[in-house]
Structure 1
Amino acid sequence: MAQARPLVFITGASSGIGQALAAQYLRAGWRLALVARREPAMKSWAEALGVSADSYSIYSADVSQPDSIIAAGHDCIARQGLPDVVIANAGISIGMDTAERADIDVMARILATNNLGLAATFHPFVAAMRRRGSGRLVGIGSVAGIRGLPGHGAYCASKAAVISYCESLRGELRGSGVRVVTICPGYVDTPLTRQNRYAMPFLLPAEVFAARAIKAIEAGASYRVIPWQMGIVARLLRALPNAWFDRLLQGRPRKHRQDAGV
């Protein structure tokens, strides 16, 4: 009996990095479990590429609602089998001002999506992968999680939490055969970043980022910044004394807030 093609489970698969990762895995002959709230967008994308029906399944879920994404994970196991790779990619990025009451709710939504959603994405697969003795759990962090940026507090905090959470989970699963991989993108050309009003050094096309990320995932890297140049920049920024770092970022344009795009 022929062995089934490997399966990857990707959240946030309807656009940006998630869609680019799906395209790369598809070209490599993998089956896809595509997860997002916008089911029609995923279906249109797959049909436009002429993806065969046996190569993918779509799961409509909201990662900010734990029961929703957990149900999607169990549904995937029932319909397609236990994935070889699970990529918790879904995330949102909105600027915030702590002086604005509405932005406290924005922060709660960001943390629910970027952090609770990541843990809930992994939840259905951890025990089954441990029993099997293999698998990759991939958390998409960000260089923004390495040092806080003005006006970007919620997003930076959420991505710092992704990095720490994945590090904790990696230690818990050590020796089980299940690898936890943290990928920290720098700037990637997606609908999310096109709204930014500040310089984005070393900006990568989404497909280039995806190809490099998949190489790191297959290698079982514990932590990888893509592109590598941003890894150097991040380490240098981390090493700066606070007074120098604060002065360097003084006056930097801030991320758009949800309220009237300011």
Structure 2
Amino acid sequence: MSAAPPLVFITGASSGIGQALAAQYHQAGWRLALVARRTDVIKNWAEARGYSASSYEIYSADVSQPDSIMAAGRACIARQGLPEVVIANAGISIGMDSREPDDIAVMAQVYATNNVGLAASFQPFIAPMVARGSGRLVGIGSVAGIRGLPGHGAYCSSKAAVISYCESLRGELRASGVRVITVNPGYIDTPLTQRNRYRMPFLLAPEEFARRAQRAIAAGGSYCVIPWQMAIATRLMRLLPDALFDRLAAGRPRKRRQGE
């Protein structure tokens, strides 16, 4: 009997980058384990594309609740087997103003999804992947994690934490055969970015991002920025003296706060 196609587990699969990654992997012949709160959206999308029922499974989970997403991971292993690739993609982006008491709760909400949720997404798969001696854990960061921007305190710091967390995990799993890969998107044309009120250079369609991301994940490097132009831009940003960077960022439009 022929071996089953490889399996990829993707969180935040109901829209944007997650949905584009699902389409890219399906096109490449992979089986899909798709996770989101809006499972009906994923089901309607997959059926509209004519995906066979045997090619995907849908798991309902709230990534901001560790027990929920870890249960989805365990269910995936029980129903479909241990994935070759796990992509912790689910994330939220909300502007904040630390002078506002309500925005401290917004920061906690962003961290619960973007950071604790990412670690909880990986957790069910780490021990079995180590036992198998292979696997790829992919954290979706952002170029926003390279430097902090006014009004973006929650999102920028959460994505900086994604980068550091994945680096830490990579060191822990270095000799295990399990690779940890950080993928940092620049500006991708998704519902998350379409509400932004500032210029977004090198904007990519989600389908093109997914194509490049799959290629980078297959290559197995530890860290990448997509598109490459943003990789150069972020290196330059890191080199700017703080005083100059602060002046350049001061007049930049801020991310919309919750309710705006």
1:23 is aligned to 23
Counterparts of 1:101-250 in structure 2, within 5 Å, are: 101-250=101-250
Give 5+ residue unaligned stretches, structure 1: none
Q: 1:224-261, CA deviations, whole angstroms, 9 ceiling, x for partnerless residues?
A: 000011011111111101100011111110000003x1
Q: Per the alignment, in what secondary structure is the counterpart of residue 57 of structure 1?
A: strand
1:256 is aligned to 256
Q: Whole-Å Cα distance in 2 between the matches of residues 150 and 213 of structure 1?
A: 28
Q: Per the alignment, in what secondary structure is the counterpart of residue 29 of structure 1?
A: coil
1:34 partner amino acid = L
1:245 partner amino acid = F
1:92 is aligned to 92
Q: 1:22-71, CA deviations, whole angstroms, 9 ceiling, x for partnerless residues?
A: 00000000000000000100000000001000000000000000000000
Q: 1:163-215, CA deviations, whole angstroms, 9 ceiling, x for partnerless residues?
A: 00000000111121110000000000001100000000000000000000000
Q: Whole-Å Cα distance in 1 between the matches of residues 44 and 5 of structure 2?
A: 23
2:75 is aligned to 75
Q: Whole-Å Cα distance in 2 between the matches of residues 220 and 177 of structure 1?
A: 11
1:248 partner amino acid = L
Q: 1:110-143, CA deviations, whole angstroms, 9 ceiling, x for partnerless residues?
A: 0000000000000000000000011000000000
1:32 is aligned to 32
- Determine if the alignment matches structure 1 residue 63 to structure 2 residue 63: yes
2:156 partner amino acid = C
2:96 partner amino acid = M
- Determine if the alignment matches structure 1 residue 41 to structure 2 residue 41: yes
Q: Whole-Å Cα distance in 2 between the matches of residues 15 and 40 of structure 1?
A: 12
Q: Whole-Å Cα distance in 1 between the matches of residues 51 and 79 of structure 2?
A: 18
Q: Per the alignment, in what secondary structure is the counterpart of residue 86 of structure 2?
A: strand
2:30 partner amino acid = W
Identical pairs, percent: 76
Q: Whole-Å Cα distance in 1 between the matches of residues 174 and 242 of structure 2?
A: 35
Length-normalised TM-score, structure 2: 0.99
Q: Whole-Å Cα distance in 2 between the matches of residues 93 and 241 of structure 1?
A: 27
Length-normalised TM-score, structure 1: 0.99
Structure 1 stretches of 4+ with a deviation exceeding 4 A read none
CA RMSD in angstroms, aligned pairs only: 0.5
Q: Whole-Å Cα distance in 1 between the matches of residues 244 and 73 of structure 2?
A: 45
- Give the CA deviation at 1:86: 0.1
Matched residue pairs, number?
260
